């Protein structure tokens, strides 16, 4: 039977009408879509009269701290006792912008074991089976657009106010590179029209997200481009890598490398990019591509991760220089495929 997303939306909306406590959870290392979609649901359910909490596994970037009520978000790593109490009290747990509990690290097993009914709202491929309902569409450019769909198809579009619309737009804008990729049809722009009608300040949202960094971050960006970018023209690829010591030198804060993985795309002929950042116990891997090369399969196979065809991530426990060597070998193994896709 063909999946009917609207049927699941109506079923979940009917459940939430009992005003029982709801916990909203998004993935580790939250990005703009994670925070935007989660906080849009948070404000929406508050308006409906639900008791609701929002939770992230770890801290979110400071450039998203302007989002209204983001200070209410429970950060699991900082307040595990409160997080566990909330998990125990919630009747419904809505998992937003991730496709499986592995994306939550230490928080994952606690949610999986919870007695609450689990609901998924997400646009990543291959979601886990541990959800009663799935508001799921891989064609949606951002989970935030699915939150808009949830509100609209529930028959509650009159509850869409400036605050909710601002959160939705933030998620959509950040997950599409300011609407420059991942958009498959005109629906996205129809949603934007409705968000504008709801009173969002599009220019202010952009400034809050992209023009809100420290001067340390700008210097780090220059250092990356000048000293730490490696270009592999024969593979149509480039990558940037940063050690923990280098990031500390530039007073690194969570979110300071946001967007760095996309910068090599400005080079003619580069269609595959990666960013490697050294953490205290692992190396974080981010990959992007344009066109047909599937970085999701690379991250799934080699870096215990995943994501989308053109945007994925993962991690490795190996030292960063070994990870980079392995990455170059991996790309070499796909050389024929890459050259076939990007023969010009």
Where residue 119 sits, what CATH number does that domain have?
Answer: 3.90.1640.10
Q: What is the count of structural domains for the chain?
A: 2
By DSSP bridging, strand 306-307 and strand 311-316 are antiparallel
Structural contact between residues 302 and 326, judged by C-beta atoms closer than 8 angstroms = yes
pLDDT, residue 343, reads 76
Same domain assignment for residues 15 and 120 = yes
- The residues pairing with 92 across neighbouring beta strands, listed in sequence order, are 22, 117
H helices within the chain, ranges in order?
A: 5-16, 32-48, 80-89, 107-113, 143-153, 162-175, 187-197, 202-210, 215-227, 244-249, 295-302, 320-333, 335-341
Same domain assignment for residues 190 and 289 = no
pLDDT, residue 2, reads 65
Same domain assignment for residues 42 and 77 = yes
Same domain assignment for residues 162 and 226 = no
- Dist. CA 32–CA 169, nearest whole Å: 10
- Give the burial string for 89-122 (b: 16+ CB within 10 Å, else e): ebbbbbbbbbbbbbbbeebbebbeebebbbbbbb
SS3 271: coil
Listed residues 171, 188, 210: the one ending a domain: 210
Burial classification of residue 317, based on how many CB atoms lie within 10 Å of its CB (0-12 exposed, 13-18 middle, 19 or more buried): exposed
Same domain assignment for residues 200 and 219 = no
Q: Report the mean per-residue pLDDT for the chain.
A: 95
Same domain assignment for residues 163 and 235 = no
- Dist. CA 96–CA 4, nearest whole Å: 19
Greatest alpha-carbon span in the chain: 59
Same domain assignment for residues 260 and 178 = no
pLDDT, residue 182, reads 85
Same domain assignment for residues 201 and 240 = no
Same domain assignment for residues 226 and 204 = no
Where residue 327 sits, what CATH number does that domain have?
Answer: 3.10.310.30
- Dist. CA 314–CA 292, nearest whole Å: 20
Around 164, how many Cα atoms within 13 Å sit in the side-chain half-sphere? Answer: 25
Residue range(s) defining the domain that contains residue 313: 215-341
Task: Say how many C-beta atoms besides its own lie within 10 A of residue 210's C-beta.
Answer: 15
Same domain assignment for residues 55 and 91 = yes
Listed residues 210, 233, 261: the one ending a domain: 210
Same domain assignment for residues 247 and 205 = no
Q: pLDDT tens, position by position, for the chain (344 residues)?
A: 568 899 999 999 999 999 999 999 999 999 999 999 999 999 999 999 999 999 999 999 999 999 999 999 999 999 999 999 999 999 999 999 999 999 999 999 999 999 999 999 999 999 999 899 999 999 999 999 999 999 999 999 999 999 999 999 999 999 999 998 889 889 999 999 999 999 999 999 999 999 999 999 999 999 999 999 999 999 999 999 999 999 999 999 999 999 999 999 999 999 999 999 999 999 999 999 999 999 999 999 999 998 899 999 999 999 999 999 999 999 999 999 999 888 75
Same domain assignment for residues 198 and 64 = yes
Residues 6+ apart with CB under 8 A from 316: 282, 283, 285, 303, 304, 323, 326
Listed residues 157, 187, 210: the one ending a domain: 210
């Amino acid at each position: 039977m063909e999946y009917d997303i609207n049927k699941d939306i109506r079923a979940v909306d009917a459940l939430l009408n009992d005003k029982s406590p709801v916990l909203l959870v998004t993935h580790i290392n939250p990005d703009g879509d994670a925070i935007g979609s989660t906080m849009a649901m948070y404000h929406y359910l508050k308006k409906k009269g639900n008791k609701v909490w929002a939770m992230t596994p770890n801290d979110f970037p400071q450039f998203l701290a302007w989002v209204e009520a983001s200070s209410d978000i429970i950060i699991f790593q900082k307040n595990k006792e409160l997080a566990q109490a909330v998990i125990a009290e919630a009747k419904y747990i809505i998992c937003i912008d991730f496709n499986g509990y592995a994306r939550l690290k230490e928080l994952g097993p606690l949610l999986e074991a919870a007695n609450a009914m689990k609901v998924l709202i997400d646009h990543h491929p291959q979601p886990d089976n541990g959800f009663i309902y799935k508001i799921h569409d891989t064609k949606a450019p951002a989970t935030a657009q699915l939150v808009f769909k949830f509100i609209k198809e529930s028959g509650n579009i009159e509850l869409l106010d400036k605050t909710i619309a601002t959160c939705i737009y933030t998620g959509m804008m950040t997950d599409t590179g300011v609407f420059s990729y991942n958009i498959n049809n005109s629906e996205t722009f129809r949603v934007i029209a409705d968000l504008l009608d709801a009173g969002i300040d599009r220019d202010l949202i952009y400034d809050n997200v992209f023009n809100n960094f420290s001067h340390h971050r700008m210097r780090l960006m220059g250092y990356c481009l000048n000293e730490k970018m490696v270009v592999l023209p024969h593979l149509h690829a480039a990558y940037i890598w940063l050690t923990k010591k280098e990031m500390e030198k530039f007073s690194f804060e969570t979110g300071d490398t946001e967007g760095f993985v996309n910068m090599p795309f400005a080079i003619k002929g580069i269609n595959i990019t990666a960013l490697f950042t050294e953490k205290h116990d692992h190396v974080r891997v981010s990959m992007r591509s344009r066109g047909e090369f599937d970085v999701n399969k690379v991250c799934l196979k080699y870096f215990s991760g995943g994501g989308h065809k053109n945007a994925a991530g993962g991690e490795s426990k190996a030292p960063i220089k070994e990870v980079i060597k392995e990455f170059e070998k991996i790309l070499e193994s796909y050389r024929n495929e890459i050259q076939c896709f990007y023969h010009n």
